[in-house]
Structure 1
Amino acid sequence: MTDDQGYGDLACHGNPTIKTSNLDKLYAQSVRLTNFHVAPTCSPTRAGLMTGRYCNRTGVWHTIMGRSILRKDEVTMGDVFSAGGYRTGIFGKWHLGDNYPFRPQDRGFGEVLIHLGGGVGQGPDYWGNDYFDDTYFHNGEPEKFTGYYTNVWFNGAMKFIEANKDRPFFCYIPTNAAHGPYYVAAEYMKPYVDKGLPESLARFYGMITNIDDNVARLMRRLKDLDLEENTILIYMTDNGSSGNGYNAGMRGKKGSEYDGGHRVPCFIRWPAGYLKGGRDIDRLTAHVDLLPTLIELCGLKKPDGVKFDGESIVRLLTDNDGSWPDHTLVTDSQRIEHPEKWRKSAVMTDRWRLINGKELYDMKADPAQKKDVADANSQVVERLRKAYEDWWADVSARFDEYSEIVIGSDKQNPTRLMSHDWHGPDVPWDQRAVRNGMEANGFWAVEIERDGTYQFELRRWPEEADAPINAAIPGGKAISATKARLKVANVDETKPIPMDARAITFEVRLKAGKTRLQTWFMDDEGTSRGAYYVYSKRL
């Protein structure tokens, strides 16, 4: 699964400029779901894919603010395959929680090679990563790698596949490319610059062409290992395009409630299972259908007590005889702390799209969604509004809950918290905000696992940056904080910040339970900001 690559960012979908010859080859060998939908942004799609359930009911409706953390009682695709005897691995972007019990290694994945947060170089990620020769997290520990980040993910995946070629395996490769910033080697960018494309789009397309080269390497490795025939290979993307290029005639891009925000490619190839030959299926399907489908295709046990929102589409994949019933799907783009009814929503059937509860589009007659026909089809509007009302009543039942990060567990002690996961109106989610000393604050929702003494180190910079709280590192801004404050449970303490201090440490007694943790760096002029990084440890 690639990042921010839209339906139109493929040559096989009519893009006249981009070079994707290997994905085009996979397209020709696959069953293609041409009316396949995801969420309009990143973490929500990942939550739906991993659980087979609408992201909103899993606690994930944003990419930051603690709302990208998948609730701990959800069962993931990793859990299902692991329980079925498969070796499981993830290589790339998780973005469903960086701390216990939300990490991929806590959710059924036995081999884990990932960056942190929502992108390489974001706040939770290893400081200074820039896609080339970076430090990533291998089974929970930082490890230095050589080369371009997409190549690193595919190298790790192919090593995992080769190690498990004689047993069942599930390999998940969610690349961070082609998410911005658009860093790529000149050899991939130059052909597009030479064609006259703006540099930003040339870089974006270059990142996709690099993915294409890696897909070729993966397909060759599967063939060389004699795994090509009996391996189910699925290619998809996580939302609409973030580029400014060809959009296959659709309205909207990443983040949009219109089809350009959430209709994406999905190719499925399994020669031994007769899923091959370049065949299109134009019925409405979605990412939430993939887990139930894989459970059926692989003969896995459905997890007890789980009610999927998606359904197995095996009959559609294998027969496609026209008898598949019409059904209704909902997607939306909240991207706020607390969801709002009807916000950036689409209620979908094979024929219709109801947008924001008001606009109606006939997709058979108007796939570009240019003509609102709500007034002429009031009964359709009423029916789809009712479907949304029922959906909202169902998925909103736990909107007031938090996904608390556990502090003091033997599974992760110490625990590093980052402001990416603050609950609050302004969240410093990337390293640029940290460098600039963004004046903002919020709280972490946490759970103290057991009674005991806990240590909290408040830092502006992460440990690996090794800089004083008030210092300006290259590209950054100095601050002048004089006091540090910690508030957690019934503890509220303040300490002075000595000159050149890298961290301010508090030791406090806490009782087990769910609570909030908040920090402040304050100066003598009344300016305040939270500590972007807090290292907590049960002593």
Structure 2
Amino acid sequence: MIQFLATSTRVSGTSGCRRTFPRRLLHTMTTLVVPTLAALFAQTVFMSSLRAQSSDRPNVLVILTDDQGWGDLSVNGNTNLSTPNIDSLARDGASFDRFYVCPVCSPTRAEFLTGRYHARSGVYSTSAGGERMNLDERTIAETFRDGGYATGAFGKWHNGMQYPYHPNGRGFDEYYGFCSGHWGDYFSPPLDHNGLIVQGDGFCIDDFTNKAIAFMESNVKQNKPFFTYVPFNTPHAPMQVPDPYWDRFKDKPLAMRHRDPQKEDVDFTRAALAMCENIDDNVGKMLAKLDQWKIADNTIVIYFCDNGPNSWRWNEGMKGRKGATDEGGVRSPLFIRWPQSIPAGKQVSQIAAAIDLLPTLAELTGQKVGGSKPLDGRSLAPLLTRDDADWPDRKIVSHWKNRVSVRNQRFRLDNRGELFEIATDPQQRVNVAEKFPEVMAELVAAAESYQTDVAAGYDDDQRPFPIGHADYRYTQVPARDANFNGGIQRSNRFPNCSYLKNWTQTDEVISWDATVGASGIYEVQLHYTCPAEDIGSTIELSFGDSKLTCQLTEAHDPPLRGFENDRVKRPESYVKDFKVVTLGRIELTEGPGQLQLKALEIPGDQVMDFRLLFFTKIE
């Protein structure tokens, strides 16, 4: 601490004689200089603490994008767009030439989170419960939390909504985003903050970035290492992006096109590239903050994508797109920057996959993985930190539904039984199965072994949806997870952001196979719409012998929305501004059962459009 002692208006000069000090100047020093020096000292102390932290355990920032292909970056040769901030990660860190993820969203997230093939963790779909990881899987967030790190996730989760499938139940102290596979509106939508439904603030990618920055800054000030996971939800449809980005692309000629240009929807490509430039700006904001806080040298930053591009667009001529197990469907960029330990501009030619990121980060940061289940991934640390790493060839399996493909360093066996030498034929145009029968036999055996040992029965799902938990107050039970009968319909064939409509009969039931995790009294809220001419239905919510009856008395009939922000027509459901009403309280007893919602009386033509039930444990 600095102390200034002023006991006299006279001070000693260098010659030893006494010199009069002007009182006005002394006043200026005490009122202006002293506070300024004190502030500088406080800043010095803060920066010293940051430097002390930089020599301690490294922070981790993982950025994952949704439906962005390998080719949607200028660093990979696409001149249609500019992504300087993402490109800088390749320049300043390590870049992997052939890094593989899954063909679609939730499996990739599960493989990153667990270090294991998604089929092992119970993930077999992208909605209606099939996106959930089994609760006996240990996640990368649990590894870092147990190692003393603050853990936060900001964006699209897509591995379970109800606690303990919720991010807060999988090792993340802080969560802000949405748990479904896609969302209906990207501008100030309803979001999930640690289980509560809150209103978003502006374009969601900007919002997620700001929340992630606030989380990291809070922990920097506490001198605590952080593990921050930012799973952006773009450029997944709906194709929405703020005007400045769209204005750059809406009339832009595209110099680089898909290898079969007649397949390409140019406006969709323009929207996707505009969304990628927005992602790049947000990556730049986070990187700038790491520099500002002086922790960039000791922060590991990882950037990758969850699958191939969500449309036919330029992707270096690779075969396939999102949903395919070919190179174009599963090849992702991977950049890892850690200036303190990874050489800038390092190129890694060995194949790698999302299953490798957990063991890699654990080794780089000195964390104990723990858990009893073996990992499918291997640590990439030797490839990142050494030039002479002993790295034997390996096989990486790409799988989605009934399609299995196997990759080794040189070849890919596709799901149709054809063999391609990727080293010389990266676009998979020439089948060389007859030329390399031994390789063919080896990779076929690996595919069969995976199907028998890993994937057999993985989609036989008997898991109920949890309601309530001793450690968590909130449970969302959405329409997307429901079973229903009669004439009830989904608003769209993609369940994630859908609602249920055309509910017209008393013998029609909406239900969920559920289990109550903690006995108690729960307050229930309903998210619905209903026009004035149909208001007045009496509905009953039941679980076992417990029943809650309520009459809908408030009309709410907003128009469909979402399309006003779309740049191209969407395939997914439009949304509404649903009304929230409290139905009342219900006593639930721990254990399995069926949660049912039905109508006892319907005075109009329909009951309502149903979106969500929200349970809060009261006692």
| TM-score (ref. length: structure 2) | 0.74
CA distance in 1, matches of 2:137, 2:537: 43
Q: 1:367 aligns with which of 410, 414, 426?
A: 426
The residue that corresponds to 1:295 in the other structure is 362
Q: 1:270 aligns with which of 332, 335, 338?
A: 338
Residue 176, structure 1, aligned to residue 233, structure 2: yes
Identify the range of structure 1 (352-361 vs 443-452) with the bigger mean alpha-carbon deviation: 443-452
| SS of structure 2 residue aligned to 1:194 | coil
Indicate conservation of the 8 Å contact 2:138/2:371, yes or no.
Answer: no
| SS of structure 2 residue aligned to 1:142 | strand
Residue identity in the other structure for 1:280? Q
Judged with a 3 Å threshold, the aligned counterparts in structure 2 of structure 1 residues 290 and 432 are, in CA distance, closer, same or farther, namely closer
Judged with a 3 Å threshold, the aligned counterparts in structure 2 of structure 1 residues 368 and 383 are, in CA distance, closer, same or farther, namely same
Residue 355 of structure 1: how far off its partner (Å): 1.8
Indicate conservation of the 8 Å contact 1:51/1:74, yes or no.
Answer: yes
Q: More strand per residue: 1 or 2?
A: 2
Residue 510 of structure 1: how far off its partner (Å): 6.0
CA distance in 1, matches of 2:522, 2:280: 48
CA distance in 1, matches of 2:108, 2:66: 10
The CA deviation string for residues 185-234 of structure 1, in whole angstroms up to 9 with x for no partner, is 22101222232354332221111101111111111111111111111111
The residue that corresponds to 1:512 in the other structure is 590
Q: 2:292 aligns with which of 224, 246, 254?
A: 224
Residue 99, structure 1, aligned to residue 159, structure 2: no
Indicate conservation of the 8 Å contact 1:402/1:445, yes or no.
Answer: no
Aligned residue runs from structure 1 range 39-78, under 5 A:
39-78=102-141
Indicate conservation of the 8 Å contact 1:497/1:504, yes or no.
Answer: no
Identity rate, percent = 33
Judged with a 3 Å threshold, the aligned counterparts in structure 2 of structure 1 residues 412 and 84 are, in CA distance, closer, same or farther, namely closer
The residue that corresponds to 2:612 in the other structure is 533
The residue that corresponds to 2:404 in the other structure is 345
Residue 351 of structure 1: how far off its partner (Å): 1.6
CA distance in 1, matches of 2:451, 2:496: 35
| SS of structure 2 residue aligned to 1:392 | helix
Residue 114, structure 1, aligned to residue 177, structure 2: yes
Residue 155, structure 1, aligned to residue 221, structure 2: no
Q: 1:191 aligns with which of 244, 248, 254?
A: 248
Indicate conservation of the 8 Å contact 1:68/1:95, yes or no.
Answer: yes
Residue 60 of structure 1: how far off its partner (Å): 1.1
Residue 496 of structure 1: how far off its partner (Å): 10
Judged with a 3 Å threshold, the aligned counterparts in structure 2 of structure 1 residues 59 and 515 are, in CA distance, closer, same or farther, namely farther
The residue that corresponds to 2:197 in the other structure is 142
Q: 1:418 aligns with which of 478, 492, 513?
A: 478
| SS of structure 2 residue aligned to 1:173 | strand
CA distance in 1, matches of 2:69, 2:473: 40
Residue 202, structure 1, aligned to residue 270, structure 2: yes
Residue 277 of structure 1: how far off its partner (Å): 1.8
Q: Which runs of 5+ in 1 are unaligned?
A: 122-129, 335-342, 473-477
The residue that corresponds to 2:9 in the other structure is none
| SS of structure 1 residue aligned to 2:307 | coil
Q: Which runs of 5+ in 2 are unaligned?
A: 1-63, 255-265, 556-578
The residue that corresponds to 1:261 in the other structure is 329
Residue 271 of structure 1: how far off its partner (Å): 0.9
Indicate conservation of the 8 Å contact 2:479/2:500, yes or no.
Answer: no
Judged with a 3 Å threshold, the aligned counterparts in structure 2 of structure 1 residues 491 and 208 are, in CA distance, closer, same or farther, namely same
Judged with a 3 Å threshold, the aligned counterparts in structure 2 of structure 1 residues 134 and 212 are, in CA distance, closer, same or farther, namely same
| SS of structure 1 residue aligned to 2:192 | strand
CA distance in 2, matches of 1:84, 1:167: 11
Indicate conservation of the 8 Å contact 1:59/1:402, yes or no.
Answer: no
CA distance in 2, matches of 1:323, 1:431: 44
Q: 2:352 aligns with which of 269, 273, 285?
A: 285
| SS of structure 2 residue aligned to 1:24 | helix
Residue 241 of structure 1: how far off its partner (Å): 0.7
Judged with a 3 Å threshold, the aligned counterparts in structure 2 of structure 1 residues 227 and 494 are, in CA distance, closer, same or farther, namely closer
Q: Pairwise CA RMSD of aligned residues? A: 3.4
CA distance in 2, matches of 1:37, 1:212: 21
Across the two proteins, how many residue pairs are aligned to each other? 508
| TM-score (ref. length: structure 1) | 0.84
CA distance in 1, matches of 2:395, 2:380: 14
Larger Rg: 2
The residue that corresponds to 1:467 in the other structure is 529
